[in-house]
Amino acid sequence: MPGPRDLDPRLLRAFLAAAEELHFTRAAARLYVAQQALSRDVRRLERELGAALFVRSTRQVTLSPDGERLLPYARRALEAQDELLAAFGLTDAERPLLVDVNSEGLAIERVLHRARELIPDCELMARFESGLTGAAAELLAGRLDASFGRFAGLDPAIRARLEQQPVRYEPMAVILPEDHHLAALDAVPLDALAGEQVYAGAGNPRTLEWTELARQLFEGRGIEVASPAPLAVGAGEFQRVMAKTRNPVLAVVDFPAMPGSVLRPLVNPVPLSPVSLVWRKGLRHRGIEALRAAAAELAAEERWLERPVDGWIPATDALIMMSRDGHRTLTDAYVRYIHGPGAV
């Protein structure tokens, strides 16, 4: 019997959600459909392809060999459809956009606030994932729409499925106990940390890109990345654990103040944390365009993408931050958003 000449994209979306979640209830919630409807669509796709795509048991769902084979084709087909719809202005722009800003109180949260001002009729919902490695998994699973962080720190296979726009070179700092011998300084020379064990998220699987940045920064300077601490969820728990271990903590200059500690910028050189806006490839939503425009506006007004003369950044990060989505693209995105596509 000849196979189908066309496949309903809805069936592929049902399959992709189930394949990435490996849990039909979560996949249905992600697509805002009933579980029975999602299961029905998956069964129909299996009939049309003449292949079992999942291995189901009472305890778990896994992909079959045919499901594994279909997965990359489904992703490419749906990305192409999204791009086609976007070309004609047919985007999924009315649903809420879920935006991870890492932690409350960071400067990057202002991008979200400005984007809300640009499109007040669109709901942009804040999330706090604390780490781009963890957020990237949520982006690819469809549980987040946008995040911010160090794009170069992601696995290349993950980066290939995401898009990014450089936003900010954020100067780094160190959090010290109030009675630390370096706490009296207005700024801490990096070499003054020689012999210290500095906490940089080691052991937290959601912040691997930050820990790896710290390792590159500390290499050859006699500074060690502190051993993993218990994973602290919430500002209060983080403060408690850090007060107990008393290790200096690698942070950024706008990190919120913690009781019993001081925040000091690092100098000689000034280490920079490269921050990009990151979203899933193929996602078309006017909230993404508003975030890009807001990031461009703030970056231009506050010179977020101007590197200090004595700034330090890994070579790979520098290449990515100067990529095709670099400073000129940021400025052009803002001009187009405010004045229309013919303005550039």
CATH of domain 97-169+272-343: 3.40.190.10
How many angstroms separate the CA atoms of 20 and 83, rounded? Answer: 21
Closest CA to 304 of 173, 133, 170: 170
Higher confidence at residue 29 or residue 174?
174
Torsion over CA: 252, 254, 255, 257 (sign): positive
pLDDT of 258: 79
pLDDT of 331: 44
pLDDT of 70: 96
Residues 6+ apart with CB under 8 A from 278: 132, 135, 136, 139, 146, 147, 148, 149, 151, 162, 163, 164
Strands 188-189 and 261-267: parallel
**Structure tokens of 298?**
């703030």
What is the percent of the chain where pLDDT is above 90?
A: 58
Whole-structure pTM value: 0.71
> What is the fold of 9-87?
Arc Repressor Mutant, subunit A (1.10.10)
What are the tens digits of pLDDT across the range 236-274? Answer: 777 777 777 788 999 999 988 778 889 999 999 999 999
How many angstroms separate the CA atoms of 282 and 142, rounded? Answer: 12
Residues 6+ apart with CB under 8 A from 105: 254, 255, 256
What are the tens digits of pLDDT across the range 139-198? Answer: 988 889 999 999 999 999 999 999 999 999 999 999 999 999 999 999 999 999 999 999
> What is the fold of 172-268?
D-Maltodextrin-Binding Protein; domain 2 (3.40.190)
pLDDT of 281: 87
Q: Kindly list the domain boundaries of the chain, sorted by start residue.
A: 9-87, 97-169+272-343, 172-268
Higher confidence at residue 128 or residue 149?
149
What are the tens digits of pLDDT across the range 109-118? Answer: 999 999 999 9
Residues 6+ apart with CB under 8 A from 31: 13, 14, 17, 38
